[in-house]
Amino acid sequence: MADQTQLYHSGSLTDGWRLFGAHPATEGDVHGWWFNVWAPHAKAVSVVGDFNGWDLTVDPLTQKGEFWQGFLPDLPVYTSYKYAITGEDGRVHYKADPYGFHTETRPGTASKLYDIEHFSWTDEDFRRNKQPVYHQPLNIYEVHLGSWRKHENGEFLDYRDMARQLAAYVKEMGYTAVELLPVTEHPLDDSWGYQCTGYFAPTSRFGTPEDFMWFVNHLHESNIPVILDWVPAHFCKDEQGLYEFDGTCCYEYADPRKREHAGWGTRVFDYGRPEVVSFLLSSARFWLEMYHIDGIRVDAVASMLYLDYGRQDGQWTPNIHGGRENLEAVEFLRKLNTMAFEVDPNVLMIAEESTAWPLVTKPADVGGLGFNLKWNMGWMNDMCHYLKLDPWFRQDHHRDLTFSMMYAFSENYVLPISHDEVVHMKGSVVGKMPGDYENQLRCTRGFYAYLLAHPGKKLLFMGPEIGQWHEWDSNGQLDWYLLEHEENQQLHAFFKAANAFYKAESALWDIDFDWQGFEWLVSDDNHNNVVVFLRRDQAGNELLCAVNFSPNDYENYRVGVPPRKRYVPAFTTDAPEFGGSGFADTKPLTVKDTPSHGKEQSVALRLPAFGAVFLRGEGSFTKRGSATKVKKVKNRKRS
């Protein structure tokens, strides 16, 4: 206990859930629960609930320095409780347990007694066989559990039903991992979990802590890693939460120019306070260790790094050097990532960081933040802007397609088309595309192929694979009825086939973070809205990737290529079974001794409108041939 207390006060306690909260205990022959809570400025603390009529005089805790502790006998599992904390000013604050494992279902706000130590895990093979992400395929399906699928009466699926259906679906569709919007307990459905009150409690909306363990275990049995969104940047100001926990600023900054995110209506964690650092480190380790989570996506990292984030001049406090960098948050993130890789060497630590902060995915001991992946927000913004343009105007915005390669290997990037891109009047992924619904589906296929081909790991929020055209509604569910229509069935089949193709082609993922895995062939054809490039794996296998963002079919589109003997069609978005016209090449293309694009040899491709083609390079060049002219075949209808 003394050693743990010392670690806690030094910001180095990483398993604080074992010290704090409510735990089964025995005193003499009496079974009960031992409580321990940090409330440094409290005058008194007691445990209250229905079991004692919420009377703060019945079960007081004893003060031990900054902690309040005590034993309560004969309370059953699931008993609801809160801490009644009397502040220095005499006011009483009724607080949920910061380290509570289970909670009442909203609108209830109390913690519930729960023992998490007895689940029987069966995922040993999965955990033993995990591999580092760097040279592996990673295609993440991002899911909001509350709105992926519901019962016919509109009620939530529970964790176990969700696990069965989600694991089967993800496995069928060929995604390689699942990322969940926050499941840490939160009072408001509309916050999607990003304003939470329970950093050690999976939300009770879908069941018990053991049910969520079953969820993770079941996905692991289907060989599906589980990534959690986690929010150490801020917390909500609901009375039962961490907000002014003992009547003073315990978990948030006391400085009014640092403690508030006014735009979000939330409080900012005090990263300079060791006890807060221990709390957050313990929360992250808790999910990795106790729930076998495979990765943590850290939300809103930019808001942590900059003291002036969302603040006007004069409304923020500089650091000790007079700068805008939050040095305490930087140190916390380095400690977080170092700790995470000690718990699991193959963990995915993913930063949602929207600025050009350097070395986000470099190790902490060389000056980096220590993540191993970072969302590429620049690529996402450029692509969403480009996709919404009428194709006639895309020629003036070709940079949106190509600029990402100026910095593509500065970090280990994930290419995200996330939930943030399909809410708040931004429309669905399909709805961003120009033209009528037929062309929107065609554009969606072409764009997804481009996403899979571009260097970087992948993430796509649920819905585009069925042609979802409504903007995401967190209170509803995906429009699964669309799969009653042939065109949506064809799109669904495309996503399944594209994901399988991605996993099978090592050139698309083996070298994601280095120029050795990528080569431009055509980067400047803005007039035709075309980009062509090569992807390579470590063995030297080549995959030619050509994407046509125009409404025109192009025949004999000549491209300079390396000296291969031929290029063999491997995949196209325009296949008839996907709803396409079948315009792309179906037979091997012989490389000609015709210079083009700075190469001595070239091939002539057929590029379908709004489509993509992939061809494998084979053999070594030995023949000579003649050139042909590019022919624009037709302009697909646009509305």
Count the neighbouring beta carbons within 10 Å of the beta carbon of residue 284.
24
Query: CB 28: neighbour CB atoms within 10 A?
Result: 6
Residue 179: strand, helix, or coil: strand
Alpha-carbon distance 326 to 303, whole Å? 9
Contact status, residue 476 vs residue 561, Cβ threshold 8 Å: no
Is 352 among the catalytic positions? Answer: yes
Interacting residues of 320 by C-beta distance below 8 A, sequence separation 6+: 327
Which residues make beta-bridge pairs with 374?
351, 413
Query: Of these residues, 59, 352, 553, 555, which one is catalytic?
Result: 352
Per annotation, catalytic residue among 142, 229, 294, 299: 299
- Length of the chain measured in residues: 639
Contact criterion met (CB below 8 Å) for 295 and 224:
no
- Contacts of residues 121-127 at CB distance under 8 Å and 24 or more positions apart, as own/partner, are 121/213, 121/217, 121/292, 122/217, 122/221, 123/216, 123/217, 123/220, 123/221, 123/292, 126/220, 126/221, 126/223, 127/220, 127/292
| Distance of alpha carbon 143 from alpha carbon 191, whole angstroms | 15
HSE-CB of 626 using CA atoms within 13 angstroms: 2
Residues 6+ apart with CB under 8 A from 146: 156, 189, 192, 205, 206, 474, 475
- The question of whether 524 is a catalytic residue gets the answer no
C-beta separation of 241 from 195 below 8 A: no
| DSSP symbols for 91-107 | -EEEE--TT-SEEPPTT
- CA nearest 632: which of 555, 559, 526? 555
DSSP code for 429: T
Give me the phi and psi of 325, to 5 degrees please.
Answer: -80, 135
Residues 6+ apart with CB under 8 A from 354: 302, 375, 377
Q: Which run of H or of E encompasses 131?
A: none
Measured distance CA(125)–CA(271) in Å, rounded: 37
User: DSSP readout, 373-403?
Assistant: EEE-HHHHHHHHHHHTS-HHHHGGGTHHHHG
Q: Quick one: which of 116, 99, 104, 53 has its CA closest to 78?
A: 104
CA contacts within 13 A on the Cβ side of 610: 27
- What CA–CA distance (Å, rounded) separates 149 from 156? 8
Residues with a known catalytic role: 299, 352
